[in-house]
Structure 1
Amino acid sequence: MSRPVAPHNAHRALEQPANIIPFKTTNPRAVSTLLALEPPPVELSDYPILTTSSSQPKYWADYSVSTHLFPAAFPRCPSDAWVRRPRPEPQEDLDAKKRRIAREVEYLSSIKEAQEQGRDTRPPGREVLWMVANRYVRGLHPTRGTGLTLVFLHGIGAFKESWEPMISSILTSLRGSADQVRIDEIWCLDCVQHGDSGLLNEAILGDIFDNADYARDVANFMLYYLPDHIAGANALPSNLPRVSAAMADARRLRGIPSRTIVMVGHSMGAHSLIYPAVKYPYLFSSLVLVEAAVYPTYLEHKDPHRRFETGCLGRRWIWDTRESAVDSIHRSAYFKPWDPEIIRLYCQYAIVKTADGRFRLKTVPYLEALMLFERRSVYETWELLNEIDSRIWLHWIWGGKSERTGGPKIQAQTSYRRLGNCSNDYHSELRHNLPQEAPSIVATDIAYFLIRHYGRLPESRL
């Protein structure tokens, strides 16, 4: 069971910087053009068969879980189909492996940079991709008012079920004060490259991933596939239908009146929230941005040798037995800092049996790495932060030891890039992967943010 949320006595926030560091503009792409969405050429009868589902999380007695499928944003960024790389030769030694990965990094860097610099003339991808989401709905009892809808977007290398320990801690914190803050519905999405979504899309994914497409997927879900009202347990079909054009237009102009929506994203999941928040401010009440992958251009000098991409491409992802897969994950230096419950869920949900009886990760590291090659959109979204309407509250959560987000000086610049209705929590001892390494701490921050803005603080906590 996830640990209960501790009293928020150790709260520390980054102060607004006295000076704004000058930055070089990226000339951001027009958000209206970037978020353009066409109806996908599929009917409900065309949806693929979803063969995986999630089980009821432990200790969530008040909530029921169901798994749902819907088309991702259409069309996609220009790319060719990725080509599955042959398995390394058995005799490949460490030096040969390093040379092979270096060649892949060089190639993938070159085609991504061509795309970002406007030298890629290929047409948009018109394959229909799919997204899988878990829905957790509260047993609806007659109560006054409307509870919150929370939507969670994971970062690179994570998966929708990895949020469960953190959400459990949030619910534990709020359970004693249900009349103050009530969460009626929670959605956790797998992005198109990861988890169950990645399994469905694997054969048709491209050799480039524009992370702006993750933002388009968010807009697509919110406008066209999130049901208008919160339905009870087992009341929604597995295949989510697309809402009418008239309803989507109403959402663009007025949001979803029956819902108060709080979006929570980590890393690239947080990054994906910026473009839609600029374009569709009425859809969102607040954004919780955990170690958001939004960077000022003066971080361009960081990691010129693509260290993170190299590490991802070298990760093992297929084994002869489930036992050997689990053992390898537990011994991996990459997973060692993760919370034990997150690792348990990773072993439960991120591994799948292959047709030949072996075991592999649902997310192919090669496809995961494609998201790491992104540069343009992370600078664009940082620059666009101050265009988010002040009606949307922005709450940032930072790890002081994070290499990705530039450390406290840069994190402070980011936290106050959009002034007004903004706040942050700062943890000097934590790194980038906060939801995986410190889910209870992140839960504490989110729970108290929700209490401050959607409820009344109990007298004992003032």
Structure 2
Amino acid sequence: METSSAFPSRSMDAILCNGHLTGTFTSVKRIQRSKIRRPVKNRICGEEGDDGRILWGNMRHPSENQLSHRPSILSLIPLAPIVQAAPPAEALAQIQTLTSHPFTDISSDTRLACWTRSTHVFPAAFPRSISGSAVHQAVLPTYLCSLDRVAIARDIRARNMAGEMRTEVDKTVNEPQLFMTAARYVNPAFESDATGKHHSSNGEIPITLILTHANGFHKETWEPSLAHLILSPAGRKIKEIWSLDCVNQGDGAVLNRQNLGLNFDWADQARDLLQFVLSYLPDENVAGPSLPVVLPRLECPNPEFLQLDRSSPPNTDEPLYWRHRKLKLIGHSFGGCASMLAATSIPELFHDVILVDPAVRPKHDTEIATATRLAGSAVSRHDQWQNRTTAFSKFQKNPFFYGRWDPHVLNRYVEHALESSRSVKLKCNKLHEASVFTQCHNRVSESYYRFLNLLHEDRLNHRLDRSSRGSPLSHRFFVILANHMESIIPKEIASGFPSAVRMNCSGHLIVQETPVELAFLISERLTASNRPAYIEQELTYLLSKL
């Protein structure tokens, strides 16, 4: 066995999901688990229902579907019919849609050479969850240069708070259709049998990954992690990957610029994700190596799912092979919260949910102050440079943020997060980034309590039906935490997740700072043959040669 140079040895604390890790790590130890306490009459999370589930805001009645695996905290309003199938041609012309080979700068390994990337567009969830998100003519507020950044952040938060929160689908809503952009990574050489159906090298149904990014980033930021994941033992299982832009970030910001309002609700990123899975993700057995740029709408095999949180519960714990796919969801930070909201809405869609330092936690006393600080940092950031070379040089000299990133990630930020006119500027307007940071609608804490409800239902279900062969739904969730100082998730609740690993080698921006190590952990999860085993041991195994 040789030590692969692709995976540098670093210290991390871990919970082991399959009894071992194949690698050289020091001080690998179990995160102490503690019994999850369900709050009763908590002023933040609401009251505990008669069946033990936490009830909040728009709630399902506690006697209704008590073991339903549908959330009692109703965060996601249903998906209504779209009002426009494709964006205007002039908007579509602003984004690059040509097929390319995205990994050639990362490695010359022939296993990467056959992978291609193409860009696709589909309608976002309609309507939006808060008024002022989609507008017929976008006009963002302007602020005096002398105005303090905290004051600007507070004004942005106040505008979000003043927006009308929608709890039902209103057919009279008069707002334009927004659109999502997605990068599709596919291996056309993936093996298929005589019937045309795809199988991995060991005969399993191949994996389709769906990815969501952190606030202020873009869909291509995952590419260094994806390259190393493809080269890992899990790579032979993966046929297709979809990475989604948020509607106001990356190419989404360019495509929707004329209709983007300032307001933003995190629930809509989850609804956009489910809109894609339910109505636009092609069937595995008919999706060829090339697809149209504007994805056609498909009939939902289960139209009831379009009701999202209000859909009827399944009669089984087993995950679906949705359109003949084995779907696995991965989200980082803000994208991790959206992934948690989506996966707790219709959990049977996903075989695994991997959350990379997700913005998922109980609400705390400093929540507003933290959100205001982050929003203030966004509005005060530099967003324009003379050219890409100048921007890259400036980024490299920032030791506390960009300077910590993997070089391949930084290269993609310069290429895909910036756009050119006379100079280069961020695609994502910094006011939109700040608006997302204000997090006015409690989705961070809602996602956390939705998961606790799912965990509680799992335990109750398996206690009532000990003959159940399926693994608990909550065991499909795997959390990768940043170091103690920078992780979003408080130490005291980290032990509440059935399966989690802490990366002491990385700050919160794990995808940007340590894509190689992240790929290794994701690979371990995707190749695990059983569900969580909580083991504490010192590891001295060498990394397998990839």
Bin for the TM-score computed over the shorter chain: 0.7 to 0.9
SS at match of 1:133: strand
Q: How does 1:183-262 map to 2 (within 5 A)?
A: 183-229=238-284, 234-246=289-301, 248-249=303-304, 256=322, 258-262=324-328
SS at match of 2:327: strand
- Bigger shift: residues 318-327 or 7-16: 7-16
Partner residue of 1:146 out of 187, 205, 219: 205
Paired position in structure 1 for 2:122: 70
Distance 1:83 1:405, change over 3 A: same
The answer to whether the 8 Å contact 1:12/1:426 transfers is no
SS at match of 2:525: helix
Paired position in structure 1 for 2:330: 264
**In the TM superposition, what whole-angstrom CA distance separates every residue of 1:191-250 from its partner, at most 9, and x where no partner exists?**
111100111112211221010111111111110111122556543111101111456558
Residue 278 of structure 1: how far off its partner (Å): 2.3
1:346 lines up with 2:413 in the alignment: yes
Residue 113 of structure 1: how far off its partner (Å): 3.5
- Measured on the aligned residues, the alpha-carbon RMSD in Å equals 3.2
SS at match of 2:233: helix
Residue 111 of structure 1: how far off its partner (Å): 2.6
1:411 lines up with 2:476 in the alignment: no
SS at match of 1:186: strand
Which amino acid in the other structure matches residue 391 of structure 1? L
1:132 lines up with 2:181 in the alignment: yes
Q: Percent identity?
A: 26
Which amino acid in the other structure matches residue 227 of structure 1? P
The answer to whether the 8 Å contact 1:194/1:363 transfers is yes
For the residues of structure 1 that align with 2:397 and 2:269, how far apart are their CA atoms? 31
Structure of higher CA gyration radius = 2
SS at match of 1:235: coil
Q: How does 1:55-454 map to 2 (within 5 A)?
A: 55-57=100-102, 58=104, 59=107, 60-80=112-132, 81=135, 83-85=139-141, 96=146, 99-115=147-163, 126-138=175-187, 139-142=189-192, 143=199, 144-174=203-233, 178=236, 182-229=237-284, 234-246=289-301, 248-249=303-304, 256=322, 258-298=324-364, 300=366, 303=369, 306-332=372-398, 333-354=400-421, 357-375=422-440, 376-388=442-454, 390-391=472-473, 393-403=476-486, 405-413=488-496, 415=497, 422-453=498-529
For the residues of structure 1 that align with 2:433 and 2:284, how far apart are their CA atoms? 34
For the residues of structure 1 that align with 2:500 and 2:451, how far apart are their CA atoms? 15
The answer to whether the 8 Å contact 1:293/1:404 transfers is no
For the residues of structure 1 that align with 2:480 and 2:427, how far apart are their CA atoms? 28
Paired position in structure 2 for 1:49: 92
Paired position in structure 2 for 1:419: none
**In the TM superposition, what whole-angstrom CA distance separates every residue of 1:83-102 from its partner, at most 9, and x where no partner exists?**
335597xxx6xxx3xx3423
**In the TM superposition, what whole-angstrom CA distance separates every residue of 1:283-307 from its partner, at most 9, and x where no partner exists?**
1111001111111123545735721
TM-score w.r.t. the length of structure 2 is 0.72
- Bigger shift: residues 261-270 or 59-68: 59-68
Which amino acid in the other structure matches residue 335 of structure 1? Y
For the residues of structure 2 that align with 1:342 and 1:33, how far apart are their CA atoms? 33
Distance 1:284 1:18, change over 3 A: closer
The answer to whether the 8 Å contact 1:12/1:427 transfers is no
Which amino acid in the other structure matches residue 14 of structure 1? I
The answer to whether the 8 Å contact 1:77/1:125 transfers is no
Residue 319 of structure 1: how far off its partner (Å): 2.3
Paired position in structure 1 for 2:37: 20
SS at match of 2:297: coil
Distance 1:369 1:133, change over 3 A: same
For the residues of structure 1 that align with 2:370 and 2:410, how far apart are their CA atoms? 30
SS at match of 1:336: helix
Paired position in structure 1 for 2:23: 8
For the residues of structure 2 that align with 1:110 and 1:300, how far apart are their CA atoms? 17
Which amino acid in the other structure matches residue 45 of structure 2? T
Which amino acid in the other structure matches residue 316 of structure 1? H
Residue 329 of structure 1: how far off its partner (Å): 2.4
Distance 1:79 1:206, change over 3 A: farther
Distance 1:306 1:223, change over 3 A: same
Distance 1:313 1:281, change over 3 A: same
**In the TM superposition, what whole-angstrom CA distance separates every residue of 1:409-459 from its partner, at most 9, and x where no partner exists?**
23223x2xxxxxx3111123432111111111211110101111489xxx9
The answer to whether the 8 Å contact 1:4/1:172 transfers is no
Which amino acid in the other structure matches residue 128 of structure 1? Q
- Bigger shift: residues 446-455 or 432-441: 446-455
TM-score w.r.t. the length of structure 1 is 0.84
The answer to whether the 8 Å contact 2:85/2:123 transfers is no
Aligned residues: 435
The answer to whether the 8 Å contact 1:140/1:232 transfers is no
Distance 1:305 1:255, change over 3 A: closer
Compare relative contact order (CA 8 Å, sep 6+) and give the higher one, 1 or 2: 2
The answer to whether the 8 Å contact 1:154/1:265 transfers is yes
The answer to whether the 8 Å contact 1:194/1:362 transfers is yes
Structure 2 gaps of 5+ residues are: 9-21, 47-55, 60-70, 193-198, 315-319, 459-471, 532-540
Distance 1:292 1:299, change over 3 A: farther
Residue 39 of structure 1: how far off its partner (Å): 1.4
Residue 20 of structure 1: how far off its partner (Å): 3.2
